Amino acid sequence: MNFPLCILLGLAGLAALMSATPTVAKEPPSLELESMKVIIARSAAEGCEPNCPEWIAAQGAIDAQTLRAFKRVLSGLGNRKLPIVVDSAGGSVDDALAIGRLIRAKGLDVVVAKTVPKVCGRTDAVCKKFKQRDIHLALPQTTSSKCASSCAFILAAGTQRYAGAPSRVGLHQISTFNIRTKILRIYRVTTRYLRGVPVESQKSLVSETKVGETRQPTPTPESVYQKIRVYFAEMGIGDDVMPILLSTPNTKIRWLRDSELMSTRLATAFVTGEQLLAPPRAVAAPAPAPVVPAALPASSPDCSSAATASSLCPPGPANLPVPEVSPETALVTPQAPPEVLPVAPAAVAPAEPTAAVATQEEPVQTAKPVPAQAPTPTPKIVKASPPKAPRPVTAPVATQRPSTFDPYGKDSPFTRGQ
């Protein structure tokens, strides 16, 4: 029996595919042709372990394999909600719309930024440990990041949509192509012979390689734009986005200004990937507050005044306010019991006539002797002295009792009202 190996070269005419593959200025062609990689990234910033932030990194062109990659990563997260960091020049419209609905169903945020992976060193055990769990240490980078063409459909799906400068978001018309792909297929053909005559043949595919592709542009049907309008309305994007998209040829990119990002609601905030994924900082213990001495008044307060003694002077007997003393009180109320001196009978003088008249109009009351009490300490007077009152004149009497001074006598500074 013979088992010949047959190599067949065929041209497979594939069905027309609708894709949005714009011509992006100053971008290497390899970035557009490379399929999007979807991985789980963890911040490689120093000192953030064990609380380093994680995210879903999506970088490259959107194609049929991208949707499967998103489903694989999201299914492994369970109920965890990680933000999506996207950097793409566009790709397949249908796949981008399907990815966007998957993101919105999960309630995830989207930020435009690149993901720069860290190369694990030979002795970097931490990096290798995460890589074994399919988690890649990396850092977000907003510089030269973009989200153009069909990538805008993924950005629109975010619950929160971040596009901080210098990242860019671009739109243009949808490009539609008829694609013919050249594929090299290698088959193994097995033939069974009976008496030298082939009676049965089997062919199995050994390998398949893409060797070429041709694209023929074709007008985009209106049904495609209607599909996009429905999608934007579903995601809560403003109606202003469609005029921008339709007015830009598919050979150019319309990079949206900040005002357009906000008016179309393609961006909810201007936050960069570095800001969104900044590692948590260690909270230091608060320093004790410095002891500041109380401000002293420019001059010593007058503690003898009742208005300032309560607020500026410390409590104490030395700072008690001095009561106001009137001349009348000083004459009538003695500060200490009067001292009785023996007087000879010859020194007794008759009472003045004026005092007799005063006695007839207003009887003079005889003061009762006050029992002796312990002397009360007089409060210390600061910056104030009692008014000097006239010395009281006491008429001597024969009974040697203290007499009450008549404030309206002839020696009094007061005069009786007539």
pLDDT tens track for 191-220? 998 888 888 999 999 999 988 888 888 999
Torsion region of 207: left, alpha or beta (phi above 0 gives left; psi -120 to 50 gives alpha): beta
pLDDT in tens, 114-143: 999 887 777 777 777 777 777 888 999 999
**Residue 261's pLDDT is what?**
96
What is the C-alpha separation between 366 and 396, in angstroms, rounded?
Answer: 14
pLDDT by residue (tens digit) across 19-66? 333 333 333 333 345 899 999 999 988 888 888 999 999 999 999 899
- In this prediction, residue 57 carries a pLDDT of 95
CB of 214 within 8 A of CB of 223? no
Max intra-chain CA distance, the chain: 186
In Å, what is the CA distance from 330 to each residue of 77, 371, 391? 95, 21, 10
Task: Tell me if residue 354 falls in helix, strand or coil.
Answer: helix
- Per DSSP bridges, beta strands 176-194 and 197-218 are antiparallel
pLDDT tens-place string over residues 323-375 = 554 544 444 444 555 555 554 455 444 444 444 444 444 444 544 555 555 55
CA separation for the pair 218, 118 (Å, rounded):
43
* Phi/psi of residue 176, nearest 5 degrees: -120, 135
| Residue 164, pLDDT above cutoff 50 | yes
Residue 414: is its pLDDT beyond 70? no
Query: What band does 379 get if pLDDT is binned at 50, 70 and 90?
Result: low
DSSP for 40-84, written as a single string: EEEE--TT-TTS--EEEEEESBB-HHHHHHHHHHHHHHTT--PPE
pLDDT (0 to 100) of residue 34: 84
Rg (CA), the chain: 53
DSSP tally for the chain: helices H, then strands E: 12, 15
SS (H, E, C) 138-196: EEEECCCCEEECCHHHHHHCCCCEECCCCCEEEECCCCEEEEEEEEEEEEEEEEEEECC
Split at pLDDT 50, 70, 90, the class of 286 is low
The CA distance from 40 to 76, in Å, is 10
8 A C-beta contact, residue 158 and residue 110: yes
Q: Is 182 helix (H, G, I), strand (E, B) or coil?
A: strand
The total of other beta-carbon atoms located within 10 Å of residue 394's CB is 11
Residue 12: band (very low, low, confident or very high) from pLDDT cuts 50, 70, 90:
very low
How far is Cα 19 from Cα 383, in angstroms, rounded to an integer?
Answer: 98
CA gap 11, 6 in Å, rounded: 16
Q: How far apart are CA 131 and CA 39, in angstroms?
A: 11
Report how far apart, in Å, the C-alpha atoms of 402 and of each of 134, 327, 336, 349 are.
113, 21, 12, 16
The string of pLDDT tens digits covering residues 56-107 is 999 999 998 999 999 999 998 888 999 999 999 999 999 999 999 999 999 9
Question: Which pLDDT score, from 0 to 100, does residue 329 have?
Answer: 45
User: At 38, which helix (H) or strand (E)?
Assistant: strand 37-43
The answer to whether residue 387 scores a pLDDT higher than 90 is no
* pLDDT of res. 135: 83
Residue 53, Cβ neighbours under 10 Å: how many? 17
Please give the model's pTM, rounded to 2 decimal places.
Answer: 0.56
**Percentage, residues of the chain above pLDDT 90:** 42
Q: Which domains does the chain have, with CATH numbers?
A: 17-182+217-274 (3.90.226.10)
Rounded to 10 degrees, the C-alpha dihedral 382/387/390/393 comes to -50
